[in-house]
Each structure stands twice: as C-alpha cells, then as structure tokens.
Amino acid sequence: MDYVTMGRSGLKVSRACLGTVNFGTAWGLGVGESEARPIIDAFLDTGHNVIDTAANYADGQAEEIVGRAVRGRRDSVVIATKAFMPQGPGPNDRGLSRVHLTRALEASLRRLGTDYIDLYQCHMWDADTPIEETMATLDGFVRSGKVRYLGCSNFTAGQIVEAQWAAEHCGGTPFISLQPQYSLLARDIEAEILPVCARHGLGTLVWGPLGGGVLAGRYRRDAAPEPGTRMGRLLASGRPAAREWAAGQLTERNFGIAEEVTKIAAELGTTPAAVALAWVRGRPHVTTVIVGPRTMEQYEQNLAGLHLTLPGELVARLDEVSGPVPAAVTGHTARR
C-alpha cells in the first residue's frame, strides 16, 4: 500500500480516501448501513486507512455508520470529519464559532463512538466569526487530545492564508489539509489554491473526482438524468445548493470532456471512471482522492482507477480538452 504524509505533518494516509456522503438514508439519497458496511470493510481490509465524513451527512447517520464499522480497529483508521453546517434551528447551531464548534465536536465524538478525531475540518468559511476565534477554539481541541490534526474544506486561497496566519498569531495549531473539489470538470483550484496549499503546508483530500458521475459516463447530453441516479436525486431534492451543483455538472462543455474520457477508456480497455480517477490521482499536489461509492461495483471500479497510470500522451489529451475555467462556471465551492 502506498502511504504519503498529509501536508506538513507526520500523518500517513493512503492515496485513496473513502467518502461517506452516500451513507445513510435521512436525505433520501444514500444507502443504508447494510449496503455501506461491506464497502467500508473492503476498503480497510485492503490497507486503505482514511475515511472522510461530516456532522451533517445524512443528518449524522454517516458518522454513526462509520463509528460502528471501525470498532475493533479504531487506531488503524484515520477518521476525518467536518463541522459548520446547521445542527439545529438556533442561531448558534451552525458556523465556526466557539460555541457551535464545541457542541459539534462533542456530538461527532458521540456518533463516531470514539474519544478522538484524527482530522477535524472546517466544512466552509464562516464570514460571521473572526478566524482568530475559530483557530483558537480548534487549537484547544488539539491540546485537549480530542483532535489530532486540523483541516479545512472549500476555502479560497486567501482564506487559507488568513487561517494559517491566525493560527501562528495566536500560537496555535495550523491546518494541514484542504478538501477541495477537483476533477477534469473543475480545475480552477490549479491557479491559486493548490500553490497556496503547497506554500503553507496543506495536503489535499480532493472530492468530486468523477463530477457527480458525469465523467463515469452515467449521463447523456440528450436525456434528463434518471430519477434513481445521483444527479436525478440531487435535482429533485429540496436542497438548493445540491440542485445548483448538479445543474452545473450537466453542461455542454462537461459532456464534451466526458466523451473524450470515454474514448480514452475504450482505447485502454478500462472504464471511464478509472480514467477520470487516474488523471486526478496523478496531478501535482494531490495527496489523497476521495471516492464516494454507493455500491460494491462502484467501489471496485473506483479503486481500479486509483491503481491505473495513464500514458503521457493521454494525459495531454485530457489536459487539452479540460482546460481550466473560472470558478463561477465550475462551482468549486459547492458544498457537500
């Protein structure tokens, strides 16, 4: 198994990370524990060690499923979870304030059935809370032993710099990771965000490598997504951010990129998903790639892609067809 260190730290992680956004049925989009558990077991049994979840995934069900799955081998698993999203109706039930982060951490520890979290991440930037308050609070979690390392998700380059400065200014613990969207459909982080991560000691756990399934060939430009597919469910959901993100993936540009991925897959005798994942894994500054399968078949296809090395000429073809476009088009800050 290939392990690398996460950012400027000694934390060793596998090049594949298991994402759990599809685990739990509370949102009507995911799978139950009986379907999720075999995927978690297979992932860990092959030596991969990073599982990413969040307090809000399926209203906490994803954390509960992960917690039960890792009992008996907790110390060999790197659990990454995230906080920010609403956990109740009150004004202090969301965000990165001291009061909400403290409550959110304790709730995540209970759901995960553990007394520590390996990588605790800010799910998104909080414009209403001074970053100094956030970083000081997170440092307190590290000093208490309840958190080992800190990270962020969906931050801009400027926000990363502010957070690292605040951690240094208050003598606290800096971030060692960023969780950004990155795929052949969404390459805007290459311009500023990835260089800032390299400069400030952040590794990356990249999400959305298949563009919601577009790069896996699951959708066609001339047909609406089937109701049972991920895009079909997101477009029909009551979550505006989810609908917006899904619509942003189903564009003429993206279908053109997906068609080139399909051609290359045919040339190699593999799947489009494998080609898309191999491209992401081979990019500079990518530490680990988050895969979020709903079925064992999807899991096996995803892992195959993370062991595939693309020839240079095929990488060049993919680079050309998927040239970076502005964040406003790709929507890299869409929240998961």
Annotated catalytic residues are 57
Measured CA distances, 201 to 6, 152, 160, 323 (Å): 9, 13, 10, 26
Q: How far apart are CA 70 and CA 309, in angstroms?
A: 31
- Return all residues near 100 (Cβ < 8 A) that are at least 6 apart: 83, 87, 92, 93, 94
Exposure string of 240-251, with b = 16+ CB inside 10 Å and e = fewer, is: eebeebbebbbe
Beta carbons within 10 angstroms of residue 86's beta carbon: 12
Please list, in sequence order, all residues whose beta carbon lies within 8 angstroms of the beta carbon of residue 15, skipping any fewer than 6 positions away. 2, 3, 4, 281, 287, 288, 289, 306
Q: Residues 202, 175: contact at Cβ < 8 Å? A: yes
Q: How far apart are CA 149 and CA 201, in angstroms?
A: 13
Q: Is 116 left (phi over 0), alpha (psi -120 to 50) or beta?
A: beta
| Pairing of β 12-14 and β 3-5 | antiparallel
**C-alpha–C-alpha distance, residues 242 and 28, integer Å:** 13
CA distances (Å), origin 195, targets 119, 147, 174, 190: 22, 27, 17, 7
Contact call for residues 205 and 179 (beta carbons, < 8 A): yes
In the beta sheet, which residues pair with residue 13?
A: 4
Instruction: Report how far apart the first and last C-alpha atoms of the chain are (Å, whole number).
Output: 28
Q: Tokens 């698993």, residue?
A: 77
